[in-house]
Chains A and B, each alone.
Chain A
């Protein structure tokens, strides 16, 4: 162990050789008690050093040596890390209490009983004089409670060899007696009573404790602001903003954001274009903070990043194009309600935090992590306001039809986000049609104009049918499939109208298409969603970018916690 310590402080190769020798000697001692070695290492802060060296030995010095591999498995650095950061105690019993807990007050006589029979250490979270007569140790900083993952007070730990060997939470006489080996505890007390929440898991304090004791989990570069620097201005000056104010990503805010996912901060989610940078959960969380997301939105943002950075969706090309398109996010499933997303009035507009910040977070990841900035790789001639954020939910409850994600193959009730490469929405007004055929013809006339009335099949489109229009189809018994089929018929266009020069317009298809009849949309190229306010005989269309293998495919992904 001494050699380990030396090696940790020395850079010479010689000392590393000594480590190998020392370990060789240790290994020959078959009777060695590894628990003792481990505890000694932990107490002398050598646990990590030891684990690193075992990894080194297993990997380089003793290839194929089963013993070393076994040891390496036992002493995984992550385990060692956890163990090393847990505080150790003298053998015996350790109790965590607070005065502000009736159960802790109730068990005071039990603690005194235990102190007579065994070595008892008491940590108190609020009042350092409580419980009286037991010389409690002050844990009002909550470090001991945090490091030992105390969730309830009272908690009683049994400690042997410096490590925890058992715990009881709340007051349960039988458990306390089994743990302590002392009988007849608290004869005047009820047999059991639940405890209270530990202050170390108090929602108001938990994040601060995480920042104090676990901020090493965050790997992002730390940017320290100058004393007189305005933090809002600082984010603009460093180029992190899309042009609107962003929320400064402090450790506290990022820690809190990460509580929204079960994924590890270091897990790589995607390789983000255009710089092709590996992006971990943590970086997405930092950008979600910038965007103004709540932690519960984070899984949607992570899934959107995953979906965007696929070869099919081709976020690279969508960013670089001169066309006015960007990622459009459509959220389906119960999570829409859980997050309070808007699928109704003003669905594409301002005012809903989830809609706007989720869409914005994806764009900020592409900007900041991927390096995709307007005027650089982003070559858009016009762009559109939706490139700040364009995310909405489908109104599934009010819809007469299947939701979009089910159309794309998801099981009903699945939480999904679908990415579509889209321009800004355009309105379709028809306040007169009450028959489905008439309304379908209105849709067809408007859809025909997408990007150019003479350009076909190259661009997909989202048709967002408003509730009052959807009712016209529903009342006549038109399914979504029937509507799409009818639109396909209405949008079968003679090549003579589409070729270059037709209608006196040079733009169009090559001459050899003259005799053909072509559909406006490729099969599956028209995606129908139901959303919008309940008043207004309107629908909307969101035109796409170059589709298919040449450009971008809509991509749907299931949202996981």
Chain B
């Protein structure tokens, strides 16, 4: 490698990305130590037959003494609305999301 090759003009490109940094304010919450007495949200994303899966889960959770809250997204194709996310976050200790079909 000659000196000329290593000392060519600076080549600079512009970053086309969103330049996002890892968001340390949204670190993962610790797992629940126990389910007894906890309040668990069941989120139906409005895909067909999500209710079948969630009904069964609700039954199993209730048998174990877990309090259950049911939630539904308006449509599976869009992120959950902010107020729904806030409601789940403020009323539940954990949430189970039923993804699909």
Contacts and interface: CB of A to CB of B under 8 A. Distances in A.
Interface of A: 218, 220-225, 227-229, 231, 234-235, 240, 248-251, 254, 272-273, 275, 277, 279, 283, 286-287, 290, 311, 314, 316-318, 320-321, 364, 368-371, 546, 549-552
Nearest to B9: A227
B19 A317 contact: no
Ranked nearest first, the 9 interchain pairs of A and B with the lowest CB-CB distance are: A317-B77, A277-B18, A221-B15, A220-B14, A368-B16, A225-B11, A286-B16, A550-B75, A223-B13
Contacts of A223: 12-15
A221 B77 contact: no
Given A317-B78, A546-B77, A240 B16 contact: yes
A469 B8 CA distance: 59
B25 interface: no
A250 B11 CA distance: 8
Contacts of A272: 18
A314 B14 contact: no
B49 to A, nearest CB: 12
Nearest to B77: A317
Contact of A549 (B6, B12, B75, B79): B75
A290 B16 contact: yes
Contacts, number: 93
B86 interface: no
A129 B3 CA distance: 38
A227 B19 contact: no
B77 A314 contact: yes
Pick the most buried of B7, B8, B16, B74: most chain A CB atoms within 10 A of its CB.
Answer: B16
Contact of B78 (A227, A286, A316): A316
Contacts of A240: 16-17
Interface in B1-57: 1, 5-8, 10-20
Interface in B63-86: 74-79
Contacts of B10: 224
A144 B21 CA distance: 40
Given A314-B77, A321-B77, A550-B77, A286 B14 contact: yes
A221 B21 CA distance: 12
A312 to B, nearest CB: 11
A471 B15 CA distance: 49
Given A316-B79, A551-B75, A234 B18 contact: no
B36 to A, nearest CB: 36
Contacts of A254: 14
Given A227-B6, A240-B17, A311 B11 contact: no
Given A550-B77, A552-B77, A225 B18 contact: no
B5 A227 contact: yes
Nearest to B18: A277
B75 to A, nearest CB: 5
Contacts of A273: 79
Given A231-B13, A273-B79, A368-B17, 7 more contacts: A218-B14, A223-B13, A286-B14, A316-B79, A317-B75, A320-B77, A369-B17
Given A220-B15, A223-B13, A286-B15, A277 B20 contact: yes
B77 A371 contact: no
Nearest to A318: B77
29 contacts: A220-B14, A220-B15, A220-B16, A222-B12, A223-B14, A224-B10, A224-B11, A225-B11, A225-B12, A227-B5, A229-B11, A240-B17, A248-B13, A249-B14, A251-B12, A254-B14, A275-B20, A277-B20, A316-B78, A317-B76, A320-B77, A321-B77, A368-B18, A369-B16, A369-B17, A371-B18, A371-B20, A550-B77, A551-B77
Nearest to B13: A223
B11 A231 contact: yes
B41 to A, nearest CB: 22
